[in-house]
Structure 1
């Protein structure tokens, strides 16, 4: 079974490889915009800066941890069973993976069921998973959602596209739901 240091080294190697691949794909994903303000205002510069920093520091940390593993007589990343390494990684980061999957489902459900129901379900499931689902946190969730709707929909006037679920309602209810939910 891989040690904790081995798992950390594996994660840093994976982060390094992912950041390098994303750096290579940046020119295809973010077009150069003609502007008089300078190169630093280009949309791709933030991504390049972030991914470059991630690549540099994950490579440094991966090499550092791999050298430590070799000095201690353990096998480095590319000499171990990949399935064993994957199981070790998944077991160590179970909560992060579940939270990431829930966030992905939340983002995909926004255009289907709307901001308020999707956010309420997402936060409630996270509270349930963290064993904090009680009356206090549920009231706090509802209050926060109401505050977010008032701030962003009413005060700032940030509107989202129409929601599929609300198209099933009569017109006057669908307009209200699309506006405030």
Structure 2
């Protein structure tokens, strides 16, 4: 099915944008504050997010009103599926971030580099070895050379003291 990129997905995108903008605007009072110490209205922490969200709501509402006769069709849903495909990598990243404090930076970096390499279709041993080598190089760069402080994994607590110290500092 050929997707017309100019109009495909517009209805779904506009409705989703309008709903999300309305949701965010409805939460502006609880997620931002009104400061009594602000020197003028322009320095209020709530002002500019509220203006941005109001403009988004207005823009999406006008766009939706102008296309009110159009209903979502099969091409809209094909385009929506195409837009949602990159969200898979967001899920991969969130799993990685949640797993690093439990299993450690080095093991999770190697595991996720190899898993993503495999997921992308590179299934040869050489590709997986390159991915593992890249992960090791990144850990050495960030923890060893740049001195980035990344908490050690909970699993390291099971190791003997001398080995645990090495793992906490370098891996």
What is the TM-score normalised by the length of structure 1? 0.61
1:75-86 matches, within 5 Å, as 75=71
Does the C-alpha gap of structure 1 residues 60 and 128 become closer, same or farther in structure 2, counting only changes over 3 Å? farther
Query: Which consecutive segments of 4 or more residues in structure 1 shift more than 3 A?
Result: 3-8, 19-32, 55-69, 87-95
Structure 1 position 173 matched with structure 2 position 163: yes
1:2-13 matches, within 5 Å, as 5=7, 7-13=9-15
Does the C-alpha gap of structure 1 residues 127 and 15 become closer, same or farther in structure 2, counting only changes over 3 Å? farther
State the Cα distance separating 1:166 from its structure 2 match.
0.8
Task: Specify every segment of 5 or more residues in structure 1 that has no aligned partner in the other structure, as ranges.
Answer: 33-43
Secondary structure of the equivalent of 1:13? helix
Task: Specify every segment of 5 or more residues in structure 2 that has no aligned partner in the other structure, as ranges.
Answer: 35-44
Rg comparison, structure with higher value = 2
Aligned length: 163
State the Cα distance separating 1:165 from its structure 2 match.
0.9
Does the C-alpha gap of structure 1 residues 111 and 26 become closer, same or farther in structure 2, counting only changes over 3 Å? farther
- RMSD (CA atoms): 4.4
State the Cα distance separating 1:68 from its structure 2 match.
4.9
- Structure with a larger share of its residues in helix: 1
State the Cα distance separating 1:128 from its structure 2 match.
1.7
Aligned residue for 1:146?
A: 136
State the Cα distance separating 1:108 from its structure 2 match.
1.1
Aligned residue for 2:20?
A: 18
Correspondent of 1:99 among 89, 100, 103: 89
Q: Which of 90-99 and 171-180 deviates more?
A: 90-99
Q: Determine the C-alpha separation between the residues in 2 that align with 1:30 and 1:115.
A: 34
